[in-house]
Chains A and B, each alone.
Chain A
Amino acid sequence: MPREQNIRLNVNGRVYERTVPVRLSLADFLRDHLHLTGTHLGCEHGVCGACTISMNGRSARSCLTLAVQADGAEIVTIEGLRAADGSRHPLQQAFLENFGLQCGYCTPGMLITAIELLRENPQPSEQDVREALSGNICRCTGYQAIVDSVLAVARDTQGSKKREIV
């Protein structure tokens, strides 16, 4: 097996081409090679969810994904959530207004996971939200404010035109 491989992928709307070691994780690629440090590592074991990113529209654990597996993929990280005019994504705004974060270390993974939920189920119940987030550990908030942030966006988008999420 070659030790390095060429990959080309789209991250947050920009195309990158890089030669990367085959053993490099997608998380390390994003953080160390593209300097997108918004994606966090909490366990590097696939358990905590802090490293969750969106890959071809599905949430994925970037610590368990190899950079070479993302060849040709479309990736969205927390840095890619803001609108073109720089305004915050409605869920980012909701996290801020509902105090949905304390230390903020879990936040990137929470945002990506919850956005995927809201796209698939725009009107989730509290239980739906809790289940969707159950693979993301937050050690600070006790989850309540996070759940409320997600429910607030669901409420806001009810009836009104849903903003295209990721």
Chain B
Amino acid sequence: MSDARFVNQKAVGSPVLPDEAIPLVEGDGRFLNDIRLPGMYHVAFLRSQHAHALIRSVDTAKARELTGVVMVLTGKELLGKVEPFRSMPNRFSGGESVQHWLAFDKVRFCGEAVCAVVAEDRATAEDAAELIEVDYEPLPVVTDPRLGGQDGAALVHDTCPNNYLIKREYERGNVDEAFRNAHLVVKRKFKIGRKQALCLESRGCVAGYRESTFGLTMWISHQLPYVVRHYLANHLHLPENDIRVVVPHTGGGFGQKASIYPEEFVCAYLALNLRRAVKWVEDRLENMVASTHARDQSIEVAVAVDRDGRILALSSDVCVDVGAYSTYLWSAGMEPLQTAGLMPGPYKVPAMRYRTCGVATNKTPVGPYRAVGRPSASASLELLLDEVARRLDLDPVELRARNLIPIEAMPYRNANNLVHDNVNYLPCLKLAATKAQYDRLRAEQRERGANGKLRGIGIACYAELTGLGTSTAVGPGTLLQPGRDAVTLRLETTGVLSIAAALPSQGQRIMTAMRQVACDELGIALDDITCVNNDTAMAPYGFGTFASRTAVFGSGAVIQAAKELRRRMLALGAHLLNVPVGELTIVNSVLQTIDRAKTLPIREMAEKSYFSAKNIPPELNPGFEVTSFYDPKFGSFAGGTHIAVVDVDAHTGEVSIVRYVAAEDVGTIINPAVVEGQIIGGIAQGIGEALLEELVYDETGQPRTVTLADYLVPSALEVPRIELHHANTSSAALGGFKGCGEGSIIGALGAVACAVADALSRRGGDIHDFPATPERVLKGLGVLPSDA
């Protein structure tokens, strides 16, 4: 099946059909909620209805009496038995936050878990949770980060003065001088609402007791199985090798499933204490308040340019509402540090300065979500560039072309200290503009304008650092520096190849990608290669899937391991065929001499090596299992340009996207159809960020968006057909690969935001708050009175 789709005889670069998707289209996927073990109990959590309150007492008596209830666990009972989540040390920490798995003295956001109920079925557990009586003493609530950071504001954590969980100031180059000498200085505000990754499958786990040889087995819907194992061991004081973590089919991750949360850890504790398997599956209402949120930023950015519109310096002030706790593992620094630090994107910025902070509030913690920080960084700068273009009477495309880092100037170290090595920013801009017929778009815009219709065109150029190795921190300022992942290649006794890795896929088809790479490297037919993934009992060590890294790491490790495995196969093959090694090659799972005079199927070689070893010199038979760790050292920039065309209805405020063109440099492509899917999926989420999605809290800290009917994500009607083009370069990583999982959401927010602002500017309007809901659009047009 797969071979028919090869391009130029190579698996890499071909749209190989993903065998791994077959169970999913046939209804045989095995997601977390599909797992059931004999005698398994079910867990439900009692959650705080208060945003901020002291817990005076918890009375669980009635709940315990309900038939079918096995146990009710309170926060007090966990004290001293397990380690709470202390905010990760971060160089830029303001203060510390400590999150207990179950709140015992104080709740800090609506939805925080207070008790866990174990029962014979979920409905009973939920009924019992409702019978628990908690006596709360409400406390003053912090909901506005700007107010929360002021002296005298209520404190979310006593250990965190002024509620600053994160604070950083940065300066490089002579910013003041650049602003003094600038031809033009433009400032602008940008706000982006709170978001939700909204994986269609929410979180969940099954904690098994003494399954197989392990004390604790965790089936968990997560992106980082080994990291989960490490922290389970630390926090439950267990030997790590007594824990097995398995990730089943996963219905979306997008960063939301890359953090460590209390609920799953409580379940592990319960399974060990009850000596019985327990299961918890987050329902959607829980997911909206208990799984990390994202974004929620106010940004002020100023740029100094010369008379040609070239950027001289950039200055920004970023304030992020990071919620009640420093997200465990990644810290509260994710959004604040990355938004400010990555503001220059693909543009030459000789000098920059920023002030950024993450302020604790009484809301759900903010954690990683696809392209952390970059979408708002990019959108705020792109909107600013459009204003510069208007003031200088320059075309927005021309202004961007003058400022993008040209490939001839690379490696180029920008003012944020990041080095751009090999990426086609400018060709992507040109390609997108050409394919979109940009000049015609502008002409059409004028025509429509003459007929009283509002059309806007938005251009966004983005940069995305992918596949970060050990020398670049993924979470700035944290101790976490993942950057080495391994795969094991094993030639089985029948000559088929297994690839083992702990690099979960939530649809990125990582297994298919690794099979394609192995096929090319080893000459083993694609249909003879399978992949076992996501099981710490079977896979070598890996950090898992996040930060557009997995294809780069998995493929790099496969290339490295394949080199050694191939060497061993050729050596034994040469011996068995009695020919010099140099004359052998492997084609389609067969060892053969270059003249094809002698052949030996890999299958026979493997069988001989395992079953007839006595006839083989031991040095030629070292075993056919190779594990290799890969570290790309540095990351590689991917990039691209998105152009969005929108129509705005001046009466209803509705925005519809009428055209969308993207040109991307995502490195050497392993599977073009998979890459397209990643890019288009990211664009859809970016459209949601720009136009629809927003989690709303009222001033008492009550969430107002707790169902999918309140939190709107794009449907098939809101996402237009995406026209996708490529101007790829190779990265310095093995195989020349770059990551492509996140970049497109960056371009999408910027392009759509700019298009809306461009449309409004035709009537002298503007917009600073996103998503651009109809109400905000009408305010921006002056049809409705604005808030300010």
Chain A residues within CB distance 8 Å of chain B? 23, 31, 36-38, 40-45, 47-48, 50, 77-79, 81-82, 88, 92-93, 95-97, 99, 101-108, 111, 126, 129-131, 133-147
Contact = CB atoms under 8 A, between A and B. Distances in A.
A102 B22 CA distance: 11
Question: Secondary structure of the B side of the interface?
Answer: loop
Given A97-B17, A143-B719, A144-B719, A105 B26 contact: no
Interface in B11-60: 15, 17-18, 21-22, 24-31, 33-34
A42 B716 contact: no
A130 to B, nearest CB: 4
B27 A142 contact: no
Contacts of B31: 37, 40, 105
B201 A42 contact: yes
Nearest to B688: A139
Contacts of A47: 707-709
B507 A101 contact: yes
A137 B27 contact: no
B251 A43 contact: no
Most buried by B among A23, A101, A131, A144: A144
B756 to A, nearest CB: 19
A36 B28 CA distance: 9
Interface string B640-663: 000000000000000000000000
A2 B707 CA distance: 31
A47 to B, nearest CB: 4
B523 interface: no
B708 A45 contact: yes
B284 A102 contact: no
A38 B169 CA distance: 51
A38 B284 contact: no
B27 A77 contact: yes
Contact of A104 (B25, B34, B123, B708): B25
A131 B715 CA distance: 9
B3 interface: no
By size class, the interface of chain B is 35 or more
A42 B17 CA distance: 27
B424 interface: no
B707 A141 contact: no
B673 interface: yes
Nearest to A86: B26
Contact of A40 (B26, B251, B254, B717): B251
B200 interface: yes
Contacts of B34: 31, 37
Contacts of A140: 200, 252, 506-507, 677, 681
A134 B239 CA distance: 49
Contacts of B302: none
A108 B27 contact: yes
Contacts of A134: 715-717
A139 B198 CA distance: 7
Given A38-B28, A40-B251, A96-B17, A103 B716 contact: no
A145 B680 CA distance: 9
Most buried by B among A78, A79, A103, A107: A103
Interface of B: 15, 17-18, 21-22, 24-31, 33-34, 123, 198-201, 249-252, 254, 283-284, 506-509, 673-674, 676-677, 680-685, 707-709, 713, 715-717, 719, 721-722
Most buried by B among A43, A104, A136, A142: A142
Most buried by B among A101, A108, A136: A101
B229 to A, nearest CB: 23
Most buried by A among B21, B24, B252: B24
B71 to A, nearest CB: 22
A152 to B, nearest CB: 13
Contacts of A31: 33-34
Nearest to B684: A142
Contacts of A126: 721
16 contacts: A23-B123, A38-B29, A41-B33, A48-B200, A96-B17, A101-B25, A102-B506, A104-B249, A105-B29, A105-B200, A133-B716, A137-B200, A141-B677, A142-B682, A142-B722, A145-B680
Nearest to B710: A47
Given A44-B283, A77-B27, A50 B200 contact: yes
Contacts of B123: 23
A45 B284 contact: yes
A136 to B, nearest CB: 8
A102 B200 contact: no
A126 B722 CA distance: 13
Most buried by A among B17, B29, B673, B684: B29
Contacts of A146: 716
A132 to B, nearest CB: 8
Contacts of B283: 44
